């Protein structure tokens, strides 16, 4: 195994939904040990790309390899290496938070002692310990996001794929989650996050890819991509579609 | 504004159909069924008026009052029956109150229940065709009655918005509401019995109701027909006053609901109670079983089908005991086994996109299928054995037990195997997690019915061997055939279950992402 083998390698990934092309030939290499940001406007194909990369959505074309394991020809082995936080899916919300994370661990074939210890650690780290016995259906949006993250971390994966992990999470919890993720990367793990908060990605990630209209517009280290500008300005420049502030003259209160 | 709300309602209705042609088919079938009932009702009234106007009047008043009660109470138990114009959705729009009220009222009439009620109310005019004045008066009275019904149901909806937003109340009411529905047969029989013994009671009840807002509007045409002009005028006044008061109350409660957003306070609980997860083997299949069992107990969509189980014997016993012959009760075991085994055939549809966790965790198809089948078998097996033994015990004919038990167990085991295959292949539109068990997306029933019918045919073929052996026992009376039926039922059933788990598991492994796609369409 080469030391520089990428944690995740995507080649020519494409998907169309009923004639509408959502992802059109995306290729990406996520280096092992990187903190990789995936940014793009709404509807750019981020969620579709990540779903195909994690084995949740069958691609029309393309190949995905995780640490040398092909996701679509050896799905079970590949999924063992990945922790996934999908966006926009439900959880088994009639379970308590503690039951849900335990369930995620047992589903992966882990033994009971390990699961119990890790569940307690995760709930504490994500500040959910005092609500561990509450049904997930009664959680707030941010708590739901955190419990889903805990379910993705329970088996100590080598690659974490997080789709919009900070949406509706409060600032304190977001900072805690960032710390957890940084520690994870420092210890050799790889993280991919999708987001449309440029500022957050610029501060948190070392690599970034800009996706729009189902294409990769730019990819590389954050410094390469932003080329001296702020990531936000560079993003707007790449993606385009910025309206000059005219046309809403009536929206003036004075 | 009123036109806007009406158009919104129609657009929502139409777009609902556009998502699936099956829904349209279902709505058309449902509509035809309702129209057929309606035609029978109106014809009945028409002929009734020939012979006996007083009886027709009684029937109209009682039927009308029952319709009012239905409109008032159904929204309470069946949340989400029609929440397309839920007041909570208009909180952020500054719609003037009178227009909002008018729009919601008219919008409430549009929709299958409203239109059917309107047609039925108009149809009562047929009862008065011999009395032109009464017949003409029946038309505005019908419109007024439907308006009252809609305002009544809107009032209960907005008055209970706060209650309705509590999850616990929703869960409980959804499950409990099943009970009277299942027991509809025995209950209506009881009422009929009661009526037969007190035939004079009904006209008196109708007369009394006709002076209350529940019956007054329905009594006006009848009073005109019998020449009681004074009574008709007084009852019309009562109805108008009642409508005004109801509308005013509705306005008050709506105004309050619009400024009181729904909230849901829950006491937080600490860790330490893993429930069933602590009691199953620590394997993927064990975890799936614990999760499925937890859902059988906690999810009202499963709870609703669980609560039906003890009610079926009651309904059957009631139906059979009328005839004095308990023999048909012997079918209880196989029927219950079929229902329970088939109840897991929509398991993945019920999971909805939460199923993504199974896919992401790389659960093998065999483990998933085994866990779900084991969870069902855990209570279905004792229930089936009881259902097979109890009728035999009641009849005191123990020699029948091996054959009955063999057929019941064979049906359960083969059925579980069949369900394990079906749910890995077919998904239906079912109520979403957290929705009322009643809220079937219109028309989805047709697809489910087709799959269930085919499933039933397949199951009949699968249990044919033990069925034939049981038949041989009944025909010859040789106990050997009965014991053979039991042996074949258990052995063949187990083999078919194992085969079903394996085939279903293989399909599941191959089609996992496609299954997730299929269930995520329904949201």
H or E element: which one contains A220?
A: strand A215-221
User: Do residues B240 and B282 both lie within one domain?
Assistant: no
- Selected for mutation to probe chain A from B262, B272, B285, B287 (highest A CB count within 10 Å) is B287
Are B360 and A137 an interchain contact pair (Cβ–Cβ within 8 Å)? no
User: Do residues B315 and B224 both lie within one domain?
Assistant: no
- Is B266 among the domain residues? no
- Is A248 among the domain residues? no
Query: Token match 């049906």: residue?
Result: B411
Are A90 and B352 an interchain contact pair (Cβ–Cβ within 8 Å)? yes
Query: How would residue A243 be classed by pLDDT, with cut points 50, 70 and 90?
Result: low
Q: Is B356 on the interface with A (CB under 8 A)?
A: yes
Nearest CB to B270: which of A82, A130, A151?
A: A130
Question: How far apart are alpha carbons A31 and A28 in whole angstroms?
Answer: 10
ipTM, 2 dp: 0.89
User: Do residues B72 and B197 both lie within one domain?
Assistant: yes
User: Do residues B33 and B98 both lie within one domain?
Assistant: yes
User: Do residues B174 and B236 both lie within one domain?
Assistant: yes
pLDDT of residue B280: 81
- Residues in chain B with CB shorter than 8 Å from the CB of A80 are 362
Are B272 and A91 an interchain contact pair (Cβ–Cβ within 8 Å)? no
- Is B377 among the domain residues? yes
* Residues 6 or more apart in contact with residue B382 via CB below 8 angstroms: none
- Is B164 among the domain residues? yes
> In chain B, how many H helices and how many E strands?
23, 0
- Average pLDDT of chain A? 86
Token pair for residue B279?
Answer: 């009691």
Count the domains in chain A. 1
Are B193 and B49 a contacting pair, CB within 8 Å? no
Query: Token match 């409430």: residue?
Result: B108
Question: How far apart are alpha carbons B365 and B350 in whole angstroms?
Answer: 17
User: Do residues B326 and B460 both lie within one domain?
Assistant: yes
- Residues in chain A with CB shorter than 8 Å from the CB of B512 are 75
pLDDT of residue B163: 62
Burial A213-231 (b: 16+ CB within 10 A, else e): ebebbbbeebeebbeeeeb
Domain end: B214, B233, B259, which one? B259
- Residues in chain A with CB shorter than 8 Å from the CB of B353 are 88-90
- Is B268 among the domain residues? no
User: Do residues B244 and B284 both lie within one domain?
Assistant: no
Domain end: B206, B225, B259, which one? B259
- For the stretch A60-114, pLDDT in tens is 999 999 998 999 998 888 998 999 998 888 899 888 889 999 999 999 989 888 9
Digits of tens for pLDDT over chain B (523 positions)? 677 777 777 777 677 666 666 667 766 777 787 788 888 888 887 777 777 777 778 888 888 888 888 888 776 665 444 555 566 666 667 777 777 788 878 877 777 778 888 888 888 887 787 888 888 888 889 889 988 988 888 888 777 665 655 666 666 666 666 666 666 667 777 777 776 666 667 788 888 888 888 888 888 888 888 888 888 899 999 999 999 999 898 888 877 777 665 555 556 677 667 778 888 888 899 999 999 988 888 887 787 777 777 778 877 777 777 767 777 888 888 888 988 888 888 888 888 888 899 998 888 999 999 999 999 999 899 999 998 998 888 888 888 888 899 999 999 999 999 999 988 888 777 777 766 665 555 555 667 777 778 888 999 999 889 889 988 888 888 888 889 999 999 999 999 999 999 999 999 998 889 988 888 876 5
H or E element: which one contains A64?
A: strand A61-66
B466 alpha-carbon distance from chain centroid: 33
Question: How far apart are alpha carbons B128 and B126 in whole angstroms?
Answer: 5
- Is B265 among the domain residues? no
- Is B427 among the domain residues? yes
- Selected for mutation to probe chain B from A53, A95, A132, A136 (highest B CB count within 10 Å) is A95
- Is A67 among the domain residues? yes
Cα dihedral sign, B353-B359-B365-B370:
negative
Q: Which of residues 272-301 of B touch A (CB under 8 A)?
A: 272-275, 277, 282-284, 286-288, 290-291, 294-295, 298-299
Nearest CB to A56: which of B268, B273, B356?
A: B356
Count the domains in chain B. 2
Are B273 and A133 an interchain contact pair (Cβ–Cβ within 8 Å)? yes
- Is A18 among the domain residues? yes
B13 alpha-carbon distance from chain centroid: 20
- Residues in chain A with CB shorter than 8 Å from the CB of B288 are 107
Are A106 and B359 an interchain contact pair (Cβ–Cβ within 8 Å)? no
Q: Quick count: other Cβ atoms within 10 Å of Cβ B47?
A: 13
Token pair for residue B388?
Answer: 């097979």
Taking CA–CA distances from A155, the nearest residue in chain B reads: B361
* Residues 6 or more apart in contact with residue A51 via CB below 8 angstroms: A57, A86
Query: Token match 């918005």: residue?
Result: B161
Question: How far apart are alpha carbons A53 and A161 in whole angstroms?
Answer: 9
Query: Strands A8-17 and A20-30: what pairing?
Result: antiparallel
Closest CA to B410 of B486, B502, B461, B471: B486
Question: 3-class DSSP state for residue B441?
Answer: coil
- Selected for mutation to probe chain B from A64, A73, A99 (highest B CB count within 10 Å) is A99
User: Do residues B154 and B239 both lie within one domain?
Assistant: yes
- Is B329 among the domain residues? yes
pLDDT of residue B80: 46
A231 alpha-carbon distance from chain centroid: 19
- Let me know the angle formed at the C-alpha of B388 by B383 and B390, rounded to the nearest 5 degrees: 90
Domain end: B259, B294, B320, which one? B259
Cα dihedral sign, A174-A176-A178-A181:
negative
Query: Strands A35-39 and A61-66: what pairing?
Result: unpaired
User: Do residues B178 and B299 both lie within one domain?
Assistant: no
Are B360 and A123 an interchain contact pair (Cβ–Cβ within 8 Å)? no
H or E element: which one contains A78?
A: helix A75-81
Residue A96 sits in a domain of what CATH number? Answer: 3.40.50.300
- Domain, as residue range, for A198: 8-239
The backbone torsions φ and ψ at residue B215, rounded to the nearest 5 degrees and listed phi first, read -115, -10
User: Do residues B478 and B506 both lie within one domain?
Assistant: yes
Nearest CB to B269: which of A78, A102, A134?
A: A134
- Residues in chain B with CB shorter than 8 Å from the CB of A159 are none
Question: How far apart are alpha carbons B424 and B342 in whole angstroms?
Answer: 13
* Residues 6 or more apart in contact with residue A231 via CB below 8 angstroms: A39, A198, A199, A201, A202, A208, A222, A225
- Domain, as residue range, for B148: 2-6+21-259
Distance (Å) of CA A254 to CA A110, A246, A250, B184: 64, 16, 10, 66
Nearest CB to B272: which of A56, A115, A133?
A: A133
- Selected for mutation to probe chain B from A106, A109, A144, A153 (highest B CB count within 10 Å) is A106
User: Do residues B219 and B280 both lie within one domain?
Assistant: no
Are B364 and A76 an interchain contact pair (Cβ–Cβ within 8 Å)? yes
Q: Quick count: other Cβ atoms within 10 Å of Cβ A59?
A: 22
User: Do residues B34 and B151 both lie within one domain?
Assistant: yes
pLDDT of residue A1: 40
Torsion of CA B368, B370, B376, B381, to 10 degrees: 180
Q: Is B354 on the interface with A (CB under 8 A)?
A: yes
Question: How far apart are alpha carbons B167 and B438 in whole angstroms?
Answer: 15
* Residues 6 or more apart in contact with residue A235 via CB below 8 angstroms: A39, A198, A210
As to burial, measured by CB atoms within 10 angstroms (0-12 exposed, 13-18 middle, 19+ buried), residue A244 is: exposed
- Is B101 among the domain residues? yes
- Residues in chain B with CB shorter than 8 Å from the CB of A79 are 360-362
């Amino acid at each position: 195994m080469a030391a520089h083998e990428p944690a995740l390698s995507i080649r020519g990934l494409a998907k169309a939904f009923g004639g509408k092309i959502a992802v059109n030939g995306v290729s990406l290499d996520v280096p092992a040990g990187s903190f990789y940001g995936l940014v793009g406007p709404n509807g750019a194909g981020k969620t579709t790309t990540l779903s195909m990369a994690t084995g949740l959505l069958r691609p029309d074309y393309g190949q995905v390899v995780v640490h040398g394991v092909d996701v679509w020809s050896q799905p079970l082995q590949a999924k063992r290496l990945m922790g996934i936080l999908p966006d926009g899916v439900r959880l088994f919300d009639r379970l308590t938070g503690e039951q849900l994370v335990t369930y995620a661990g047992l589903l992966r074939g882990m033994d009971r002692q390990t699961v119990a210890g890790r569940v307690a650690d995760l709930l504490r780290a994500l500040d959910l310990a005092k609500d561990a016995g509450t049904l997930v259906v009664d959680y707030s949006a941010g708590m739901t996001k955190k419990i889903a993250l805990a379910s993705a971390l329970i088996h100590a994966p080598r690659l974490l794929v997080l789709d919009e992990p900070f949406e509706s999470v409060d600032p304190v919890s977001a900072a805690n989650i960032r710390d957890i993720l940084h520690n994870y990367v420092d210890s050799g793990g790889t993280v991919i996050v999708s987001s449309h908060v440029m500022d957050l990605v610029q501060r948190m990630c070392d690599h970034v890819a800009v996706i729009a209209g189902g294409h990769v517009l730019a990819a590389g280290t954050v410094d390469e991509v932003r080329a001296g500008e702020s990531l936000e300005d560079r993003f707007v420049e790449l993606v385009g579609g910025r309206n000059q502030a005219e046309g809403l003259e009536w929206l003036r209160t004075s | 504004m009123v036109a806007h709300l009406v158009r919104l309602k129609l657009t929502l209705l139409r777009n609902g159909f556009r998502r699936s042609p099956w829904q349209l088919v279902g709505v058309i079938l449902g509509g035809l069924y309702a129209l057929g009932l309606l035609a029978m009702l109106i014809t009945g009234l028409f002929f009734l008026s020939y012979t006996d106007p007083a009886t027709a009047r009684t029937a109209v008043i009682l039927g009308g009052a029952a319709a009012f009660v239905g409109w008032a109470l159904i929204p309470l138990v069946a949340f989400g029956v029609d929440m397309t114009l839920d007041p909570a959705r208009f909180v952020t729009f500054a719609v003037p109150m009178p227009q909002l009220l008018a729009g919601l009222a008219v919008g409430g009439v549009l929709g299958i229940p409203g239109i059917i009620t309107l047609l039925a109310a108009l149809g009562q005019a047929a009862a008065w065709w011999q009395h032109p004045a009464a017949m003409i008066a029946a038309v505005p009275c019908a419109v007024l009655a439907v308006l009252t019904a809609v305002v009544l149901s809107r009032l209960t909806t907005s008055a209970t918005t706060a209650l309705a937003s509590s999850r616990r109340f929703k869960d409980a009411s959804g499950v409990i509401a099943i009970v009277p529905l299942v027991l509809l047969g025995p209950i209506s029989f009881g009422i009929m019995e009661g009526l037969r013994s007190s035939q004079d009671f009904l006209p008196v009840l109708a007369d009394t109701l006709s002076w209350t807002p529940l019956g007054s509007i329905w009594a006006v045409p009848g009073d005109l027909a019998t020449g009681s002009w004074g009574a008709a005028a007084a009852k019309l006044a009562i109805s108008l006053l009642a409508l005004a008061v109801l509308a005013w109350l509705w306005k008050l409660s709506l105004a309050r609901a619009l400024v009181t957003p729904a909230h849901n306070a829950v006491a937080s609980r600490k860790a330490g109670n893993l429930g069933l997860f602590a009691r199953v083997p620590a394997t993927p299949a064990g975890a799936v079983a614990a999760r499925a069992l937890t859902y059988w107990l906690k999810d009202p969509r499963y709870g609703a089908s669980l609560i039906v189980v003890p009610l079926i014997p009651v309904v059957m016993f009631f139906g059979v005991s009328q005839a004095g012959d308990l023999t048909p009760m012997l079918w209880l075991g196989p029927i219950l086994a079929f229902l329970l085994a088939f109840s897991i055939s929509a398991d993945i549809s019920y999971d909805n996109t939460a199923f993504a966790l199974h896919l992401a965790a790389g659960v093998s198809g065999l483990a998933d299928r085994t866990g779900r089948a084991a969870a069902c078998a855990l209570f279905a097996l004792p229930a089936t054995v009881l259902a097979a033994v109890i009728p035999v015990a009641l009849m005191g004919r123990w020699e029948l037990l091996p054959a009955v038990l063999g057929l019941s167990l064979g049906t359960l085991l083969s059925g579980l195997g069949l369900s394990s295959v079906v749910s890995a292949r077919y998904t239906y539109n079912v109520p979403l997690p957290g929705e009322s068990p009643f809220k079937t997306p219109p028309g989805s029933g047709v697809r489910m019915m087709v799959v269930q019918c085919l499933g039933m045919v397949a199951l009949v073929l699968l249990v044919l061997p033990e069925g034939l052996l049981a038949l041989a026992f009944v025909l010859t009376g040789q106990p050997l055939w009965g014991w053979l039926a039991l042996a074949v039922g258990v052995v063949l059933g187990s083999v078919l279950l194992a085969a079903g788990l394996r085939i279903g598991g293989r399909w599941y492994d191959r089609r996992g992402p496609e299954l997730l796609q299929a269930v995520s369409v329904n949201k």
